[in-house]
Every structure is written in structure tokens, then in C-alpha cells.
A and B are shown apart, each in its own frame.
Chain A
Amino acid sequence: MMDAQLLISGVIFGLSIGAIFFLMAIGLSLCFGLMRIISLDQLLYYSIGAYITYSLSLASGSVWLGVLGGMAVAGITAFAVERFVFLRIYERELTFSMITSFGILIGGIGVIKFFWGVVPRPVPVPTLAQIDIFGTDVPVYRLIVVAIAFLVYGGIWLFLNRTITGKAIRAGIENVEHVEGLGINVSRLFTITFVIAGTLSGLAGGLHAPLIMVDPQMGLEVLAFVFMVVIIGGLGSIKGTLVSAFIVGQVVSLGSLVYAPLAQMAPFAVMMLILLVKPTGLYGSTLVKK
């Protein structure tokens, strides 16, 4: 029914999609774990990353330069939003941050429309090279995306486990008050975490741009999938995010080989099944109160 070539392409496709989801989900997961906020505006930084990549690659001829630029602008925007908006709402309940960040996302889409208009734009793939894997031609670019995701995972792991700031963040995920009681400036920790999340989302957008058309609504289209990953993996768990990004990526990809329309819906079904059994996701904690 499904020949080997299709299968291999499907797996690689799924891995690259999973990589994109992972890059975004990490930020969301960390922001929730440490600051107890739902940061829907990460989808905006994703879009910003994609659009800046588009413009910069058009201007300079180099897509990679565009991606770097996208990351930078996304990170700066995230910094500004954190300082002006989130600073005021850390003490409020979860729904508050959800609604506010959603407003930022929608408003940001408006800003994008203002500068770039509504017409979808194409971004060239940095390399059209293909490599032969088990008899199938696989786009090298997709493999690069996957490799970058693994590098980022390694980098985040090193950051969280080998640097003092990272350890402070891990400690803060367990109990922010105790960290603050030791004299550590948690306000700065929050900002650092938020900017990391925004930059990673920008990277995700920049990397994804050549694979799809950039349009103002792109953040909303991916929103559901990214949250699927976060929920399945459990908010606050990095390992869980990696695993569930992998799962969702494969389900979307291989599922579409089996029956296309169903594949879009399959992750949601998987998510509902998981939540049925474990209402906090695969690796999520039951912590609710701040």
C-alpha cells in the first residue's frame, strides 16, 4: 500500500515539521513552567521571524542571513512585549495571560498586514540539494532543519544544566518564591526566559518560511498544532516537548499519506485521548497554583 520511498519522505517530512513545532513549544513550555503564563504571542514572534526572513533574504540574497535577522527582530519584539505588557500581569491568573497574549497576537497580525499586506509571499529554499537515503531523494534543507532542532535541544540542555542562570530557571520552575528568597533577581530571569522563547519562535518561523508561503495568518494556522505538542508533552517539561513534537510531526506527516484530511485532525484526536487518561499531558505536572 505504501512504498518505501513515500514512507521515507514521509518520515523526513514529519521530522522537519516536528522540529519546527519543537522550537516553538520549548518557549511556550518554559514560559509556563517558570512564569505560569500562557504566551500565545509566541506565534507572533514566529510570524515575525518568517517575515523578516522573507524581507532580508529578498534584500540580501541570503536566506540564512534572513533567518538570523528574523531571530533577532523576534527576540527584540519579545523583549519589548515582556517589559511593557507581561511585567504587569505575572501575578494574575492563567486565563488573563491567555487573553492578553491572544490580543497581542491578533494586534501583531494587524501590524504585519500593515507592513507587508495580505498576499502570501514565497521564500526561496537556501539549498535545493537532495541527498539519497535508502533510495529516496530527500531534500537536504529538511535535514538541516532537523539538525538545527537537535542542536537547539542540546544547547537548551547545556544552558539549563550547566549554567547558573539555567539552574536558577529550573529551580524557579519548581518554586519561584524560594529562588527570590535567595536574593536572585527573578524579574531578570523572567525576561531572559521570555526572550529566549521569542528568539526560538523567530528561528522556527525563519526555518519554516522556505517550506511554506508566509502570510499574515500563518501564526494562527500553526497555533493549534503547537499547542497540541505542548499539551501532549505537558506544560513545563522539556523532554516531554521533544517527545510529543516528534509524535505530532510523524502523525501529521504519515497520517497524510494514509488519508490526507484526517491527518490534520489526527493530532487533536491523539491529544484528546491522552488528556482523557492523563489530564495534564504526558509529562505535565499537576501544579496549578502559583
Chain B
Amino acid sequence: MKICLVGNSHLAALKLGLKESKLASKKVLFWGAPGDWFKQVRYRNGKLVAPPDGVQIFRKISGGQYDDLPISEFDVIVLHGIYVQHNSVRQAMKMTSKSRFMSAGLMDAALRDIVLRTMAFDLAKNIRGENNVQVFISVTPLPTDKGLNKEQVAPDMIAKVEAAANKLAKELSINLLPQPAESLTDDQLASKEIYANDRHHMLGTYGTLVLNELNARLVDAQ
């Protein structure tokens, strides 16, 4: 089974955690680049296409193997580190902040739309649409120091976004890899222990948890 872990700088945690994970013995390739380069990645003609000015970074991350990523060469594609929850929750909070009334139907439709417009879902949808490959979206933790904290998040908003993402993932035959339960606080935000010194990226220990969760899903699927 060939697995490709695709993403932005948050891939670092997976790379650091791979050795300790249950996926260590599997054939795993990394492909990605830091934020601004990764944001320009598009799916075209069976490939994830890197932006021209960042090709060397993508090649380097893949161990010199790929500029663009041919999806058909893999059995599993994991999109990691692209904000689904974080941006969606922020947007959903903004959405509900000033409106007088939102019916549950409108909330569902709007959240579905917000999630569908995230880069992770956009890429995953396109990949799944044309390839017989398992696609996972590994959610990025909800950081406690980036404008989302217990006081600011409407109590049920995270759950609502999660429900919308799960529903959409099911509809599009995409697998959502939730944030490992061990890394969550009681209020569903990320526990501080998983953060690196920059308080933005995650430690290798978090990467190990994610990869073990992925391994469990792959084993279940088999």
C-alpha cells in the first residue's frame, strides 16, 4: 500500500512522528510545501500540480521524487494541515454574529458550503472525482492561541462544523480523520501539550498520534 501524506508546514509533525508510529514500516511519501506555496496547489489532469515558483520545495519534500504529484501512483492520499475546522469555525462564527435569525436548514446549507469551499475539501473532491484512491482529510487542531478560545467559540459551533464536514465527507466518499482524542481538551480545542515552541505547529508526538489513527482506519478498511 502506497501512502502519500500531502500538506503544508504541518506535515513536519507527521514527518517527525513517523518513526514512532505504526505506519513506520509502510511505504509513505511526503509531498507539500509551506503555506503560501501550498495554497497554490491545484488538481489538474490526475495530478496535484505545484506552483512553478515552488516546484523545488515540493520536490525536496518528496525526497527528490515529484514536482507534481501523480495521484494514480498511490493507494491512499492524506491531506494534512489544511485548515478545515479552524477557518470554517471562524467563518461560521462570523456568519452567525450579526444575523438576526438563522434556521437550522440555512445553517446546514451555509456550513456545508463553507466546508466545501475549504481547500482541503476542494482538493479531496476533485481527487475523488477522478481517481479510485482513498482520500483522507486529517483535520488541523483548533489552536487555542489564534482567536479561538473557550470564550469566543459558540459552544455548539465546533460540533456543528464537524457535523457538516462529516456529512459532506460521507457524501463525497472522503474519509475525515479527526483530531486524536488524546490531544483534545474538554472544550474540544487542542491541548497545549501538543504544540511546538512556536505555539502554532505540532510536535512529533502529535504526528505519531495522527499516523496511528490513520493506520487504524486503514486496517479497519482492509
Partners in one complex: no
